[in-house]
Chains A and B, each alone.
Chain A
Amino acid sequence: MALREKSGGASGADVASLLSLPFLSDNSIRSRQILSLAKLLSSPSSGESPGDSGEFKVFVLDALARDIVAPLLKVQDLRKLGVTLHLALEDASRQAIPDVPAVYLCAPTPENISRIVNDTVAGMYAAASLNFTPSISRVSMEALAREMINGSKAGGGTDASNGTASGNALSRVRSVFDQYMSFVSLEPNFFSLRIPDAYVAFNDPAARDVDVANATSRVVEGLFSALATVGAMPWCLRCPRGGIAEHVAGALHAKLKDHANPAKSTIFATDDAARPLVVILDRNFDLGTALAHSWDYQPLVHDVLSLKLNRVSVPPSSGGTASPKAAKTYDLDRDDFFWSTHAASPFPKVAEDVDVQLNQYKRAVEEISKQATAGDDPSAAFDANRSDLSANTKKLMSAVNSLPELTARKRIIDKHTNIATSLLGSIKTRSLDVYCSVEAELMTGKGDRAAAAQLLSAAVGGGGGEGSLRGTATDHLRLALVHLLSGGSGAGDSEGVESSLRSLGCDMGAYLYAKRMVSLNLAGPAPGSGVTGASAGVGGMTARDSDGNLLSDWADKAFSSVTKGVKALMMSERRPAVVDACEALISEGASSSAVPLGTAPRIDVSNFARFEPRGSSSGTAPRSVVVFMVGGGCYAEYLSLNAWSKSVGVRTTYGCTECVSGGELAAQLSVLGDKASLK
C-alpha cells in the first residue's frame, strides 16, 4: 500500500507539472479522475513515466466519455498528453489514420463494441487501447473477441490483397482496461452520474420492474466507479430504511462484497483510515432544498443560466444592439480564480467583488504603464549610467511579461461582469429575491405561512403593482411546493395556494403529486416542523448580518429597484437535511468524541439501515463521507456540505444521479403527476 501510494504520488506530481495543474495533489475525486485519465492516455507506451507524453495518439470517445473528459482536460492538456485528435466514436465519418495508435474510452454497449470491431477490422488505426468506463462484462468481452475474429476472417476471405492488414484485428488490440470512470467530476468533491430524469425513473408508480432494475444498476455502476476512484472500500453504507435509497444501497452492497476480499480484487485499498462512510439518500428525503430558489452564486447560475458541465451560456443582453449577438458561452472551472472563491458567496457579495477586482486590475495596469514611461523618462536619462538603464529594461521586461496574466485576469472579470449582469436582469424580472427570502423563511419554519399564500394570490391579479410577485409559472409552482413541503402533513392551509396556482395557470400535476406525497408522509422531514430548526436559523442570521449591510450598500448604490427585496432578504442560514443527516451519522459512528459537535443531531439515526460490505469495523469515526443523492442533487446541498466538512474537518464528497435545478425537478414532478393522472 505504501509503495502504491508513493508511486501514485510521484506520477501525480509528474502529471501535475506536465499539465500545470497544481491542485492535482489534493486527493479529491476530481484530481483522482484527472490522474486516471492522464494515466490511461500515457499508459502502455513502452514504460515511460506518465509525465512523458510518449507517442502521439488519437483519442476516441463516446458521448458519456466526452462529458467526463470535457470538464477535466482541455484540448491543450490533451495535446500535452500526446493526443493529436479527439474523435467521437459515434461519428461514422471518421477516417483512417493508419500509423497512429488509438485510445478508446467508452461504455461497453453493444453498439460501441461493434463500432470498435469495425475500426479494428478495417485497420483504421495502428493499434487500439480499449478502455471501458464501467467494467466490461465477461459476456461483452467474449462478444468483442468473437466479432473481431469473425470480422478478420470475413475480411481475409473477401479481400485477399487486404488480408495481411485486416487479418490481425486482434493483434491491433494493445490492451483492455476497466477504468471505473462512469461519472463526471464537476467540482473537486462533486460528481454527477449524468443519468437524466432519474427522479421520474425511480418514483414512477407505473414503472415496470425491469426499468427500475436498469436504473438501479446504472446508478450502482456509477457509484461503484466513484468509490473505486476514491480508492477505499466503504466503511459502511447508511441509508433511510424502506425506500429507493435502501434498494440502491442493497445492490451496491452486493457489488462491493464481490470486491471486499483484497486478495481477489485490487481495486480498493486496504487502508482503514481512508475508508469513507457512504450515505445514500433519496431525493424525497429533502425535496424542498432542491426546489427552493437559492441566493448563492453557483446555484443561482445553475438555476437561471442553466449551468451545464461547468459551462454556462449567457444570452445576449436584451438592452438591444441592433445586430443579434449569439449567446456567449463561458467555462466556469478551475482556471477561474473568481469562480473558485465566489461560487459559494451570496450574489450581492459577488457583484461587489467583481467591482473590487475590476479596480484592482485597473490599478495594476496603471502601475505598469507608469513603469513603462519611467523607462524613457528624460530626467532619469540625465545621470543614467549603464546599470540604471539595464534595471529599467528589466522592469519593462517584467511589465511586458505580466501583461498576458493581466489580460487573462481581465477576461475573467469581464466574464463575471456579464454573468452577474445577466443574473441581475433575471432577478429583477422574476423577483427572485422575494422568492429566496420567502422560501428561506418557510423552510426554517419561522416564516409567515399566510403571507406566502397571500403573495401567490396577489400574483394572480397580474404582476403589475410594485411589490407583487413576478416570475414564471415555474417560479410560482416552486414557491407553492416549498410552501406545501414545509407545512408538514398536518397543514391545512394549502387550499388557497392551490386555487391561486390554478388561476396562475401552473401545471397542477407537480403540486398534486407533492401533495399526495406529503399526505403519505413520504417527503422527508419537513424542516419547519423540526424543533431545533429555528435556532440554527437565528444563529446563521446574526452571522450574516455584516453581509446584509454590504449587500444593502451595494444595492442602494446601483440597483434601487431591487433594494427592497434584498433588504427583506436577511440571508437566513439554513442547513439542508443532508448536512444534518451526515452530522448525525458521523457522530453516531464516533463513540469517542472525535468529531466536535455543536448541536444535538436532528435526524433520528435509528431509522437508517446499515450495510457493512467488509464486516464490522472498529469504532473509530470515519474521516471521510461520501453522500449520494438518488434522483438528482443540487449545488446548494453541495455548497452547504462543503462548508460543513470544512468546519468539522471531515472530507465530504457529494454525488448525485444528475445535477438538477429547481425548475428541472419541478418539471419531473409534473411528469410524475401526469403519469399518476392527477389533475
Chain B
Amino acid sequence: MMSSTRDRTSEFFSIADRLGGSVGASASGGGGAGAGSGLAPRGLSGSSLGSSSLSGAALSKVDSSLFASKASSIGMGIHATSTKLARLAALAKRTSMFDDPAREIAELTGVIKQDIASLNAAISDLQNLSRGTSGSNKQTAAHGTTVVNNLKTKLMGAMKQFKEVLTVRNENLKVQESRRSRFTASPSKLPSQGDGGVRQPLLGAAPSSSPLPLGRYAAAASGGGDMAMPTPSTSDAAAAGASDKPPVRPPPHWATSSTQPTSVEPGGGHPHLRRRQQGGGSSVMVDNATGPPSSRAPTTPGMPPPPPMFQSQALVAQNSSYVSARSEAIAQVESTITELGGIFSQLATMVQEQGELAVRIDENVEDTLSNVEAGQGELLKYLDRISGNRWLILKVLGVVLFFLLIFVLFVL
C-alpha cells in the first residue's frame, strides 16, 4: 500500500555530489551536509539556527526560531498532557467500589490541571510573540496565527477530554454512593433506636455535596450497630471493605477507648464525622459492656469472622471514613470541573471561530479569479466611458473648428 512512492533522495544527493565535485569543493561540502541532514531534520534546523545567530543581522530570524521552538515545546506539552489524560481516563473508568484509586486520581488531576493552566499561559505568550515579530510579512503572520490556533484547538480538545473524564469520575462516585446506600439502607428503614436520634442532627450539618446518601448511610450504619447485620452477603462485603484498610483493623482497644480511632483513620478530618464516631464509639461501648465477652477477643486476619456486634463497630468507623473520603473526592472533582470551566471559557473567547473548517484548498483561487474578472469588467466599463468622452471631446472640437472656420470665412 505504501509502496506507491519511490524515494529518490539518495539518488538526488549522489547527483548533487557528482555535480558539486566538478563545480566546486564548497558546494560539494554543502551537498554532503545536506545528505547528512536529510536524514536528521532536527539537526538541520539546529544548524540553521546556529548560522543565523552567527550572522547576527537576522534578529527576526532568531525570534521566529524562538517561535518555532516554543510552538513545538507547547505541542509536546499538549501531547504529554493527553497521555496523562489517557491514564487518568483509565483510572476513572474503574467502577469497582473497593479498590478506588482516589489518591492517584487526585494527584493526576492536580498535575493535569497545572499542565493545562501553564500551557494556556504559554499559548497566549506565543500569540503575543507571533504578533510582535511578524509585522511586515503577511504569510509568516498567517503561519503564526494558524500555529497558535492549532495549538489552542488541541488544548481545547485535551480540556474537553479532561472534563469528560472528570464527569465520568463524578458519575462513578455518585453511582457508588447510591449503590452503597441501597445496600445499607434496608436496615435503616426499621425504626432506629435511641442513639440514632442523637446522630441525625449532626449529620444534617455534614458535607453538603451529597447529604442525602450520606445521611442515609450513616443511619444505616447506626442501625447496623444496634442490630445484627441482616444478610450474610452484606456482612461479607463489609468485612471485605474493612480488610482493605489496615489501620482500622486492630480494634481490640478501640472498643474500649473511644478516643483512639480518630487518629488512626485516614480520612477522618471532618469534625462532624469525628464527633459522630466518638458518639458511636461510646454508644457501642455501652452496648459492649452488656455484650458477650467473646466480642473483646482480638481478631487477626484469616480468622473466622468476628461476632456481629464487634464487626458492626468496626464498620461504623470504616464506613464513616469511607464516606468522608468519598464526599471529599466528589467535592474535589466538582471544584476542578468548575475551575476548568473558567479556563475553558477563557480559551474559547481566545479561539476565534474557525470558519474555514470545511473549506477546500481551491476556494481562494476561485474567489481570486472571480475578483479578477470583476475587476476587469469594471475596467472595461471605465474604458468604455472614457472612450465615449473622447468621442464627445472630438465632436465638440470639430464643431468649434467648424464655427471657427465659418467665423474666419465671414470675417474675411
Residues of A near any B CB (own CB < 8 A):
4-5, 7-9, 11-12, 32, 35-36, 39-40, 44-46, 55-56, 58, 61, 66-67, 69-71, 73-76, 78-79, 82, 84-88, 94-101, 126-127, 135-136, 141-142, 144-146, 148-150, 152-153, 156, 161, 164-165, 167-180, 228-229, 231, 266-269, 309, 311, 329, 331, 335, 386
Secondary structure call for the A interface:
mixed
Residue in B4, B31, B67, B139 whose beta carbon sits within 8 Å of that of A170 in the complex: B31
Find chain A residues with CB under 8 A from B27 CB: 149, 152-153, 170
A98 to B51, CA, bound (A): 13
Candidates A39, A99, A267; contact of B61 at CB < 8 Å: A99
Q: What is the chain A residue whose CB lies nearest that of B178?
A: A387
Query: How far apart sit A136 and B42, CA to CA, in the bound complex (Å)?
Result: 27
Task: Decide yes or no: A176 and B57 within 8 Å by CB, A46-B42, A149-B19 being known contacts.
Answer: no
Given contacts A174-B44, A178-B6, contact A85 B33 (CB under 8 A): no
Find residues 116-151 in chain B having any chain A CB closer than 8 Å to their own CB: 137-140, 142-143, 146-147, 150
User: Shortest beta-carbon distance, A140 to chain B, in Å?
Assistant: 11
Q: Determine the chain B residues whose CB is within 8 A of the CB of A146 once the complex forms.
A: 19, 23
Q: Which of A67, A84, A231 contacts B362 (CB 8 A)?
A: A67
B interface list, Cβ under 8 A from A? 1-9, 11-13, 15-16, 19-20, 23-24, 26-27, 30-31, 33-34, 37-38, 41-42, 44-45, 47-48, 51-52, 54-55, 57-58, 61, 64-65, 67-68, 71-72, 137-140, 142-143, 146-147, 150, 212, 354, 356-362, 365-366
A sample of 13 more A-B contacts (CB under 8 A), given A39-B2, A141-B8, is: A55-B72, A56-B143, A76-B356, A79-B146, A97-B139, A97-B143, A149-B16, A170-B33, A171-B33, A176-B9, A231-B4, A267-B4, A309-B362
Q: Which residues of B contact A84 (CB under 8 A)?
A: 142-143, 146-147, 150
User: B357 touching A175 by the CB < 8 A rule?
Assistant: no
A167, B365: Cβ atoms under 8 Å?
no
Most buried by A among B7, B354, B359: B7
Q: Considering the chains assembled together, what is the distance between the CA atoms of A82 and B79 in angstroms?
A: 14
Chain B residues with Cβ below 8 Å from A4 are: 1-3
Which chain B positions have C-beta within 8 A of A174?
Answer: 9, 37-38, 41, 44
Q: Given A153-B27, A170-B30, do A141 and B2 touch, yes or no (CB 8 Å)? A: no
| Interface contact A145-B19, CB-CB below 8 Å | yes
Which residues on B sit within 8 Å (CB–CB) of A173? 9, 12-13, 34, 38
B146 surroundings in chain A (CB, below 8 A): 56, 79, 84-85
Interface centre among B38, B65, B146, B365 (most CB of A within 10 A): B38
Find chain B residues with CB under 8 A from A177 CB: 5-9
Give every chain A residue within 8 A of B356 (Cβ-Cβ): 75-76
Within the complex, the shortest CB–CB distance from B9 to chain A, in Å, comes to 5
Given A75-B360, A85-B139, residue A175 in contact with residue B16 (CB < 8 A): no
A269 CB contact (under 8 Å) in B3, B45, B67:
B3
Residues of B within 8 A of A267 (CB): 3-4, 6
**Secondary structure of the B side of the interface?**
helix
A178's closest neighbor in chain B, by CB?
A: B6
Give the residues in chain A near B6, CB-CB below 8 Å. 135, 177-178, 180, 266-267
What 3 A-B pairs have minimum CB-CB distances, sorted nearest first?
Answer: A8-B1, A171-B34, A84-B146
**What distance in Å separates the Cβ of B319 from its nearest Cβ neighbour in chain A?**
22
Chain B residue nearest to A101 in the complex (CB):
B41
Contact of B34 among A78, A98, A126, A172 (CB under 8 A): A172
Q: A149-B31, A152-B27, A267-B4 are in contact. Are A97 and B140 (CB under 8 A)?
A: yes
Smallest beta-carbon distance B169→chain A, Å = 16
Q: How many Å from the CB of A637 to the closest CB on chain B? A: 25
Cα distance, A436 to B230, chains bound together (Å)? 83
Q: Is the CB of B3 within 8 A of A98?
A: no
Complex Cα–Cα for A84 and B153 (A)? 13
Supply 9 A–B pairs (Cβ within 8 Å), ascending by A.
A4-B2, A40-B5, A75-B358, A84-B150, A85-B143, A164-B52, A170-B30, A176-B7, A178-B6
- Determine whether the beta carbon of A74 is less than 8 Å from that of B357: yes
Most buried by B among A61, A67, A74, A309: A74
Asked if B361 and A86 sit within 8 Å, CB to CB, the answer is yes
Closest Cβ–Cβ distance, residue B176 to chain A (whole Å): 15
Asked whether A95 and B139 contact (CB < 8 A) given A5-B1, A75-B360, A161-B57, the answer is yes
Write out the residue numbers on chain B whose beta carbons fall within 8 Å of the beta carbon of A141: 8, 11-12, 15
Contact of A164 with B8 in the complex, beta carbons under 8 Å: no
Give every chain B residue within 8 A of A144 (Cβ-Cβ).
12
Q: Nearest A residue to B71 by beta-carbon distance?
A: A56
- Assembled-state Cα–Cα distance A100/B45 (Å): 9
Q: A36-B4, A161-B57, A309-B362 are in contact. Are A167 and B68 (CB under 8 A)?
A: no
Report how far A144 CA is from B52 CA in the complex, Å: 26
Residue pair B359, A75 in contact (C-beta under 8 Å): yes
- Give the residues in chain B near A85, CB-CB below 8 Å: 139, 142-143, 146
B44 to chain A, nearest CB (A): 6
Contact: A95 with B361, CB < 8 Å? no
Contacts of B365 in A (CB 8 A): 66, 88
